[in-house]
Amino acid sequence: MGTKSGLKTRIAALAVVAGSLALACPAAPAHADDEGRRHGRPAAVGGPRLSRPGVQVRPTARAPHLPPNLSGLSWVVADAGTGQVLASKDAHRRLPPASTLKTLFAVTVLPRLPQQVLRKVSEADLADVGEGSSRVGVQAGHSYTVADLWRGVFLSSGNDAVHALAAMNGSMRTTIAQMRARARSLGAYDTRVVSADGYDAPGQVSSAYDLTLIARAGLARPDFVHYASTRYARFPTGRKADGRANGTFAIQNTNRLLVGAPGLERYRGLIGVKNGYTSHAGNTLVVAARRGGRTLLATVMNPQSGSYNAVYHEAKSLLDWGFKASGKVSAVGTLHRDRAAAAARAVRRPVHDDPATAVSQASAATVPRDRPPTAWYVSVAGTLVVGSTAWTLYARRRSLGSREY
């Protein structure tokens, strides 16, 4: 690998991320490092093994075999508590993320908007929602609370809700810039944000490693856990000036491991997180589950088997394997530390074995069912990136006409 380009920014980044000493590792695929070198990203983020091609696992003699049905182009299974990556395949491979990118949107914008603020959505707010996008049913000229819109994002994967929230956050352009900064603060250097909602856009990519990092940051927030765990809700057709709903309709979470589907049972202990699909990205899924005092994360990107619900079955298999492999495998890497959350001294709250209990605790403490909390800490991501240069704002995305959810 060349070392002349971006040398100064790499040195500065290495001063922050101690131990990333494999800059010249011949096993690291070029696609995992080219973009990062231009932006001060240390090589082999999470450890050198994660940059190697193919399946990475370090079993003991007593360890269970990895599931045989794994056809995803990239996947990761990790311990959310310790940050250890238990096994992976092409963890840093950059692929279109589809709506799993909404997890980055959430960890970026949740702290910025008070949940009970009421906004009248305009035609301009919804003008750039891509053709074929999933929608929850946000209507121009109608008013919604921030909490309404977050339910639309997490349950219905509504791109219309994302655009309304981005408008409340200043603009879509501002929100995308904030998401890029938040990705850098997390160490999600494989991620390039072009559309905040995950809609297919030229150059927009993430990786199984990055999506796992982002989901782990989300689990540190009770409001994120609350929305990601919610299976069913009522969405308003609009609200009056006093906040009362004009009417409501039922919405259901599109994460099939959370709600179940024909031939696919609800996964015991599932906390939720986010699924996605576009015709370009294929199926993508990030899930978290807790059993026996451990919380695991599994990310699967674009299964190739062609079988029905493959992304859910493969994520389920990885979670099952991860719980059985506890204490029987050595880590193949680690999840990068969230510097912004550490600097803001965000308090991690425990998540119980039963997702309903997790939501109940979060509700009692800070997230009432119908009144999620106001923003309680401010992201300082931009100030914590040492040696990184500002990412160039990419051109306005072109509609690709893909189906998306």
Sequence ranges of the domains in the chain = 50-384
* pLDDT tier, 337 (very low <50, low <70, confident <90, very high otherwise): confident
d(CA 253, CA 265): 14
Region 341-363 average pLDDT: 43
Q: What pLDDT does 338 receive?
A: 79
Q: Verify whether residue 102 is a known catalytic residue.
A: yes
Region 126-137 average pLDDT: 96
Lowest-confidence pick of 154-163, 290-299, 374-383: 374-383
End-to-end C-alpha distance for the chain, whole angstroms: 38
Q: What pLDDT does 341 receive?
A: 60
Q: What pLDDT does 404 receive?
A: 55
Does residue 72 carry a pLDDT above 50?
A: yes
Does residue 15 carry a pLDDT above 50?
A: no
Active-site residue (options: 51, 88, 157, 207): 157
Asked whether 318 and 257 are in contact (CB, 8 A), the reply is no
Does residue 319 carry a pLDDT above 70?
A: yes
Active-site residue (options: 99, 133, 207, 388): 99
Does residue 126 carry a pLDDT above 90?
A: yes
Q: What pLDDT does 342 receive?
A: 60
Q: Which fold has domain 50-384?
A: Beta-lactamase (3.40.710)
Q: Locate the DSSP E strands across 90-168.
A: 118-120, 143-145
How many CB atoms lie under 10 A from the CB of residue 102? 25
Q: Verify whether residue 363 is a known catalytic residue.
A: no
Query: pLDDT tens-digit profile of 22-63?
Result: 323 323 333 333 444 444 455 579 999 999 999 999 999 899
Q: Verify whether residue 206 is a known catalytic residue.
A: no
Calculate the average pLDDT of the chain.
81
Active-site residue (options: 102, 274, 379, 402): 102
Query: pLDDT tens-digit profile of 201-217?
Result: 999 999 999 999 999 99
